[in-house]
Amino acid sequence: MIDLRLVREDLGAVRAAYERRGGVEGLEAVVELDARYRALLGRVEALRAEHNRASKAIGKASPEERPAAIEDARVLAEQLKDIEVDLERLEAELNDAASFLPNLPHHSVPEGTSEDDNVVEREVGDKPDFDFEAKDHVALGESLGLFDSERAAKTSGSRFVYLTGKGVILELSLVRFAIDFLLERGFSPVVTPVLVRERAMYGTGFLPAEEFEYYKIEKDDLYLTGTSEVALASMYADETLGAEGLPVRYAGMSTCFRREAGSYGKDTKGLIRVHQFDKIEQFSFAHPDDSWDEFAAIRTNQEKILQALEIPYRVLVMCGSDLGAVAAKKVDNEAWIPGGNRYLELTSATNATDYQSRRLNIRYKGAGDKGLVHTLNGTACAVGRTIVALLENHQRADGSVSIPGALRPYTGFDSIAPE
């Protein structure tokens, strides 16, 4: 949710910001609804004030005056009832319309109307120069016994895997590596609930816009989260944080569930696009004045992790139309995967500014300074896809895969060879 006050007071600025997204539908409707809402609100409040006065007078009235006083108040109460219903309806209409308005893009976000307008900011690391034909991670995983998609399809359907053998050790090692990395940088580790109420989904902006993408447990009215971001952001719903304690940083760990609706036929094999995967996430609650510094810190962490794992990548700044609803700015890191001869999104960093905190009502308070916090999130390690990048980049001619030095203390082995 964006700040409607801004829509009222500086509509031009809002329009200009939305231009970066290639224009946004529904803004004019919100402007009109808001004006009508405030006009009616004024009338309702005046009537309420009158009714409150009349009602209080009853308590002080003498027994003889009472019947007439009660009648006066009753008439006012009746008028109120009608007009309040209108107000509620109008408010709901306004909120509904406003909740579809996306966040205002940061001025540094490139304008754009499609993903073709995303900007490659940098390329980092050397792509491996193999003197043999690179295999993709599916072939490597199969020959190394790291996962089993076929049997998973039998039990659960397509896009599920059994991680097996050293694949499990790799997974656990990456998790612990990422957690340790973030611990050193002031992040508190949390394992989050993966089933959440609707409010958490709505508050983080995954609803109403992306409902089709997430599993819902109808029987208990709970959603399976697609990222720990949902539960992390919701942790402090309706709370006020001390300004002096900001930023508050969490390293969230959870299994993530995605329906992948509409992606039939894409990345059907292996670990790239699965319904269930594990992910370590950075999440920060920051002071509005500092949130862009925090954004930079989160991005730095992401890049250092990729560098430690010796994965070549490029930095992709998302253009206005590719931001999604909540992001004021979003930057992805895409790993080079030689087996696929392409780039693959491995991490994503978002500054949601006050878009989530307004919906979740998360505030901060300092000396003479209060407001809504800014929320930021960024992948630390999407385990499945990271394994893909490790396998494809560190494969050797004999079909084995070497483990980067930073990970060896965790794996306990320095390569994986075919059985």
Partner RNA sequence: GGAGGCGUGCCCGAGUGGCCGAAGGGAGCGCACUGCUAAUGCGUUAAGGGGGGUUACCUCCUUCAAGGGUUCAAAUCCCUUCGCCUCCGCCA
Residue 68 interacting with RNA (CB under 7 A): no
Residue 122 interacting with RNA (CB under 7 A): no
Q: Which residue has the tokens 């300074």?
A: 369
Q: What's the token pair of residue 354? A: 């006050």
By the 8 A CB rule, do 384 and 277 touch?
Answer: yes
273 is catalytic: yes
291 is catalytic: no
Binding flags for RNA, 325-344, as an x/- string (CB under 7 A)? --------------------
Q: Which of residues 288-307 bind RNA (CB under 7 A)?
A: none
Helix (H) or strand (E) holding 161: none
Among the residue ranges 11-19, 69-77, 254-262, 380-388, the one whose residues contact RNA (CB under 7 A): 69-77
Per CB under 7 A, the list member of 15, 48, 314, 408 interacting with RNA is 48
Q: Which residue has the tokens 């307008």?
A: 117
Helix (H) or strand (E) holding 45: helix 27-60
Binding flags for RNA, 9-38, as an x/- string (CB under 7 A)? -----------------------------x
Residue 365 interacting with RNA (CB under 7 A): yes
The residue (of 304 and 370) whose beta carbon lies closer to RNA is 370
At 150, give phi and psi (nearest 5°). -65, -45
How many Å apart are CA 150 and CA 143, to the nearest integer?
14
258 is catalytic: yes
How many Å apart are CA 336 and CA 391, to the nearest integer?
11
Distance of closest approach, residue 100 Cβ to RNA, in angstroms: 20
Residue 235 interacting with RNA (CB under 7 A): no
Q: For helices 66-99 and 27-60, what crossing angle results, to 10°?
A: 160
Dihedral class, residue 142 (left if φ above 0, else alpha if ψ from -120 to 50, else beta): alpha
The residue (of 268 and 361) whose beta carbon lies closer to RNA is 361
Among the residue ranges 51-59, 207-215, 296-304, 379-387, the one whose residues contact RNA (CB under 7 A): 51-59
Size of the site for RNA (CB under 7 A): 25
Give Cα separations from 229 to 71, 251, 381 (angstroms): 55, 10, 13
Residue 94 interacting with RNA (CB under 7 A): no
385 is catalytic: yes
How many Å apart are CA 296 and CA 106, to the nearest integer?
14
How many Å apart are CA 356 and CA 234, to the nearest integer?
9
The residue (of 161 and 230) whose beta carbon lies closer to RNA is 230
Q: Given the rule CB under 7 A, which residues bind RNA?
A: 5, 38, 41-42, 45-46, 48-49, 51-56, 58-59, 70, 73-74, 76-77, 363, 365, 370-371
Catalytic residues: 258, 273, 345, 348, 385
